[in-house]
A and B are shown apart, each in its own frame.
Chain A
């Protein structure tokens, strides 16, 4: 299988960057998309050229490290899938595949396809934790939690922080990510004590990081590998309003 990659190359944050074409032969349909890029990099090494920088870790769709814009979609042509789970069988022989880094003012490009997502970490630091005594792990059933609530909390907790929501959003809004992190804890009894502080400080951090506002286009929930529902954002808005009214 032979494809033409059009890949964004950028030396560093200050570099202007541009799309470069690479014709790659010898690929198979069974290769993952990242393996195809690995293959291209091996060819570049043999030609003594600089390899393309891209992020990955587990390659099992659970870590949230990989993530690039492929042919006009975050994580490629399929809904709700990570880049590493995309395989070359999703493309045809002779296809042109455009690969770009996430685009957002709050996600500056570090090199080629790698962006700095530390804005997410700073949102997390504002309250995506609970305050609890350290020491021996508490007994698992000490706090009874109805199954429906724990399931809902787990649905939000599934967010892997890949950044596809920000990348695909026309406003580069981080609302889906922030909402998932807030709702995960605010839905649980363990998170109740700090619920108002959490929602206000995390959403405030989201704003000062320079992310845009959510206008409910719904693109984020289509691209989210974990299928986090956009209703989380509406719930975050409700929690924020409640926190502002009740302190």
Chain B
């Protein structure tokens, strides 16, 4: 029976995308610790990150996460290349804005910006804390790696703060289209349900965009 490689690719991009959406919720929730007063936040944040690093369950989830990001990027790229080939000649005049949203037509560009951010973000934190690149991470009073200090010092560099804040805009647009479309790609076609999902998608994208965008600023002002 027919293999449907395109169907397979799309399903994979949607599936990994929605998994990453769930991850972002957990990530943002943890970031909220940074909003607490410093004396509470430091201990809590550091013990939380130590728990994450040492839990075998989280280790599996982490590998699943790396795999999801890679598959999401690679298959989205393959789909985009094929989609471009499917329309080799553009229209002289095209008023696409009259029938579709900007974010839905520019998921590739938005995704690329997010990917650039992820690489820089991983260099800032993951490479330093987990792989030990760059300056060694000090220990706090409880003997945990002082991840709070890494975050705090990074977000006292105004350029990083601006970068992290600006990048949350394409993130929000990417999530807004990606979240609601992911369900349709995976075959959810209940009309009323999809209307609710579209609203949830908007709220979700706003919370993620504003949340990830504003926390570096608040830390900067601390």
The answer, among A103, A173, A215, A237, for a CB contact under 8 Å with B187, is A237
**Judging by beta carbons under 8 Å apart, are B9 and A213 in contact?**
yes
| Contacting residues of chain A (225-243) with chain B, CB-CB under 8 angstroms | 230-235, 237-242
**Judging by beta carbons under 8 Å apart, are B105 and A217 in contact?**
yes
User: Which among A52-60, A82-90, A202-210 touches the partner chain?
Assistant: A202-210
Q: Assess A213 versus B88: contact at CB under 8 Å? Given A72-B94, A204-B3, A222-B100.
A: no
**Judging by beta carbons under 8 Å apart, are B4 and A204 in contact?**
yes
Interface residues on B, range: 35 or more
The answer, among B4, B90, B184, for a CB contact under 8 Å with A233, is B184
| Contacting residues of chain B (184-203) with chain A, CB-CB under 8 angstroms | 184-189, 191, 194
**Judging by beta carbons under 8 Å apart, are A105 and B87 in contact?**
yes
The answer, among B5, B92, B105, B187, for a CB contact under 8 Å with A98, is B92
**Judging by beta carbons under 8 Å apart, are B107 and A170 in contact?**
no
**Judging by beta carbons under 8 Å apart, are A215 and B92 in contact?**
no
**Judging by beta carbons under 8 Å apart, are A213 and B187 in contact?**
no
> Nearest-CB distance from B9 to chain A (Å)?
7
> Nearest-CB distance from B195 to chain A (Å)?
11
> Nearest-CB distance from A120 to chain B (Å)?
14
> Nearest-CB distance from B112 to chain A (Å)?
15
Chain A residues contacting B55 (CB-CB under 8 Å) are none
> Nearest-CB distance from B4 to chain A (Å)?
6
> Nearest-CB distance from B184 to chain A (Å)?
4
**Judging by beta carbons under 8 Å apart, are B104 and A218 in contact?**
yes
Q: How far is the CA of A232 from the CA of B194 in the complex (A)?
A: 13
Q: How far is the CA of A223 from the CA of B89 in the complex (A)?
A: 20
Interface string of A72-105 (1 = CB under 8 A from B): 1100000100000000000000000010100111
Chain B residues contacting A215 (CB-CB under 8 Å) are 79, 83, 104, 107, 181
The answer, among A73, A210, A217, A241, for a CB contact under 8 Å with B11, is A241
Q: Between A and B, how many residue pairs show CB distances below 8 Å?
A: 148
**Judging by beta carbons under 8 Å apart, are A204 and B2 in contact?**
yes
The answer, among A69, A171, A219, A238, for a CB contact under 8 Å with B86, is A171
Q: How far is the CA of A122 from the CA of B194 in the complex (A)?
A: 32
Q: Assess A219 versus B83: contact at CB under 8 Å? Given A204-B2, A237-B184, A240-B4.
A: no
Interface string of A45-69 (1 = CB under 8 A from B): 0000000000000000000000001
Chain A residues contacting B9 (CB-CB under 8 Å) are 213
Output the nearest chain A residue to B95 by Cβ-Cβ distance: A72
Q: How far is the CA of A72 from the CA of B11 in the complex (A)?
A: 31
> Nearest-CB distance from A146 to chain B (Å)?
18
Q: Assess A212 versus B83: contact at CB under 8 Å? Given A201-B2, A241-B11.
A: yes
Chain A residues contacting B186 (CB-CB under 8 Å) are 237, 241
Main secondary structure of the interface of A (DSSP, over half): mixed
> Nearest-CB distance from A180 to chain B (Å)?
13
Is A247 at the interface (CB under 8 A from chain B)? yes
**Judging by beta carbons under 8 Å apart, are B104 and A106 in contact?**
no
**Judging by beta carbons under 8 Å apart, are A72 and B91 in contact?**
yes
> Nearest-CB distance from B63 to chain A (Å)?
26
Is A211 at the interface (CB under 8 A from chain B)? yes
Chain A residues contacting B6 (CB-CB under 8 Å) are 207, 213
| Contacting residues of chain B (1-59) with chain A, CB-CB under 8 angstroms | 1-7, 9-11
**Judging by beta carbons under 8 Å apart, are A105 and B2 in contact?**
no
> Nearest-CB distance from A201 to chain B (Å)?
6
Q: How far is the CA of A19 from the CA of B93 in the complex (A)?
A: 11
**Judging by beta carbons under 8 Å apart, are A216 and B181 in contact?**
yes
Q: Assess A216 versus B185: contact at CB under 8 Å? Given A72-B95, A170-B96, A241-B11.
A: yes
Interface string of B81-116 (1 = CB under 8 A from A): 011011111111111101111001101000000000
Q: How far is the CA of A188 from the CA of B199 in the complex (A)?
A: 32
* A-B contact list, 17 entries, CB within 8 Å: A19-B92, A72-B95, A103-B89, A172-B87, A200-B1, A203-B2, A213-B6, A213-B79, A215-B107, A216-B181, A216-B185, A234-B185, A237-B187, A238-B188, A238-B189, A241-B11, A244-B1
Binding site for A on B (CB under 8 A): 1-7, 9-11, 79, 82-83, 85-96, 98-101, 104-105, 107, 177, 180-181, 183-189, 191, 194
